[in-house]
């Protein structure tokens, strides 16, 4: 099978890129950032919870100089783990494609906007809507009583999207004979999509051996989830604590990082968690994470987050501790390979070209400067350190709460 796939890659090298882009390429010189929906109807395992076909939105490169530059983005939206919540989810756009918009405006995301400050604006852009509730990990191939009659197949949507773009008739994402312009893929995702990036980045790289593949997860690298038990606490709807993932992995039949599984032989379900999975990931990563994540703490740890609650000393102490834990796991990153953008802000994925800033640099610029070292082989060829790409706020007070970054959203 591997040799057949390698032969297909070589065959695809003869495909004329301009002709296969004709279906999607917008007309005119200006960048049209609206992309049509493509449902993966020919791929039987690419399903939403309700069994409808999952899919993607694709906007091709607007400039011949970026024809080998790709950004693939996974949508976020929490997760579901039980019969009632998953069946309810299956009636929404996060569980069914039946009401998805026919087009998607890439200007709705800072990473893909046509704003002239965005260095990624002319790249090939693929956006995958989220509709299986598993944080893009599930690899079920059918619905059953064990899955409440629902499909959990987020990983298969990623697999099928790569299969789609590997077809000769649509051979856009394929090998190039120009070694000076090697195919470059930046794999990103927000929140649950950020989790999905961790889980699928090495798989994607294995599918694209001719390309340089790097990751940029956003809001998907929290420390160990614990439930807040202090004043005004609530019980989270979904259990994201470590021990709960044994159940979730069985429900989803999760695709997990094999190197991590080889290490955690008796409790491999822990390999669902990015902070545990990270040491085993082979591909370069630029991790984007707030030091006080408002969604993780408020929705998945039961912290009371009204304006008045945030003034309570007990709540503030909890957030100080959370920031310390987040900073600790970020400082464990391989900074000779990876980059970090971690502002002291109470936010989740609301990063933009305007805010927050660290060292007078926004997250898009920081990511691009880091990515360039892999696009042009500087990091590998000269063994440069990436310490300059470590953007982590430190507060003069020594405390991360309240946030000390003056440019938070």
How is the chain split into domains, by residue range? 2-392
Could you give phi then psi for residue 196, rounded to 5 degrees?
-60, -35
Other beta carbons less than 10 A from residue 391's beta carbon: 22
Give the integer Cα–Cα distance in Å for 226 and 45.
Answer: 34
Q: What is the pLDDT of residues 195-222, one digit of tens each?
A: 999 999 999 999 999 999 999 999 999 9
Nearest to 146 by CA among 253, 27, 50: 253
Whether the per-residue pLDDT at 245 is higher than 70: the answer is yes
Could you tell me the fold of the domain covering 2-392? Rossmann fold (3.40.50)
Exposed (0-12), middle (13-18) or buried (19+): which is 22, by Cβ within 10 Å? exposed
CA angle 266, 269, 271 (to 5 degrees): 105
**Whole-number mean pLDDT of the chain?**
90
pLDDT digits (tens, 9 = 90+) for 133-161: 999 999 999 999 999 999 999 999 999 99
Residue 171 has which token pair? 């051979």
Q: What is the mean pLDDT of residues 70-84?
A: 98
Mean of the pLDDT values across residues 90-103? 98
Backbone angles phi, psi at 212, to 5 degrees: -90, 120
Q: Is 262 exposed, middle or buried (0-12, 13-18, 19+ CB in 10 A)?
A: exposed
| Farthest CA pair distance, the chain | 65
Q: What is the pLDDT of residue 14?
A: 30
């Amino acid at each position: 099978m591997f040799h057949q796939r390698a032969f297909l890659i070589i065959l695809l090298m003869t495909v004329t890129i301009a002709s296969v882009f004709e279906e999607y390429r917008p007309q005119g010189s200006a960048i049209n950032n609206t992309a049509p929906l493509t449902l993966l109807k020919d791929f039987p395992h690419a399903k939403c919870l309700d069994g409808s076909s999952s899919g993607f939105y694709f906007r091709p490169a607007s400039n011949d100089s970026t024809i080998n530059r790709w950004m693939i983005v996974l949508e976020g939206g929490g997760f579901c783990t039980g019969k009632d919540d998953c069946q309810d989810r299956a009636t929404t756009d996060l569980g069914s494609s039946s009401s998805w918009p026919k087009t998607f405006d890439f200007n709705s995301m800072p990473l893909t906007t046509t704003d002239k400050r965005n260095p990624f604006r002319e790249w090939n852009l693929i956006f995958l809507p989220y509709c299986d509730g598993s944080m893009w990990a599930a690899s079920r191939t059918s619905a059953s009583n064990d899955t409440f009659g629902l499909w959990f197949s987020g990983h298969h949507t990623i697999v099928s999207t790569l299969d789609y773009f590997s077809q000769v008739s649509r051979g856009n994402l394929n090998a190039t004979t120009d070694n000076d312009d090697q195919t470059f893929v930046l794999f990103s995702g927000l929140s649950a999509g950020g989790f999905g990036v961790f889980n699928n980045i090495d798989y994607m790289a294995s599918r694209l051996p001719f390309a340089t593949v790097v990751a940029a997860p956003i809001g998907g690298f929290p420390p160990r989830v614990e439930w807040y038990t202090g004043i005004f606490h609530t019980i989270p709807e979904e259990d994201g604590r470590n021990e709960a993932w044994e159940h979730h992995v069985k429900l989803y039949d999760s695709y997990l990082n094999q190197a991590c599984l080889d290490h955690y032989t008796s409790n491999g379900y822990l390999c669902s968690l990015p902070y545990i999975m990270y040491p085993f990931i082979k591909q370069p990563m630029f991790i984007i994470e707030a030091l006080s994540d408002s969604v993780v703490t408020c929705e998945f740890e039961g912290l009371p987050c009204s304006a008045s609650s945030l003034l309570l000393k007990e709540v503030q102490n909890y957030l100080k501790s959370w920031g310390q834990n987040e900073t600790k796991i970020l400082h464990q990153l391989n900074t000779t390979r990876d980059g970090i953008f971690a502002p002291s802000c109470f936010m989740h994925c609301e990063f933009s070209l305007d805010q927050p800033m660290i060292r007078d640099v926004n997250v898009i610029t920081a990511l691009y400067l880091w990515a360039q070292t892999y696009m042009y082989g500087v990091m590998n060829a000269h063994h440069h350190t990436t310490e300059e790409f470590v953007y982590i706020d430190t507060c003069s007070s020594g405390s991360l709460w309240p946030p000390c970054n003056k440019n938070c959203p």
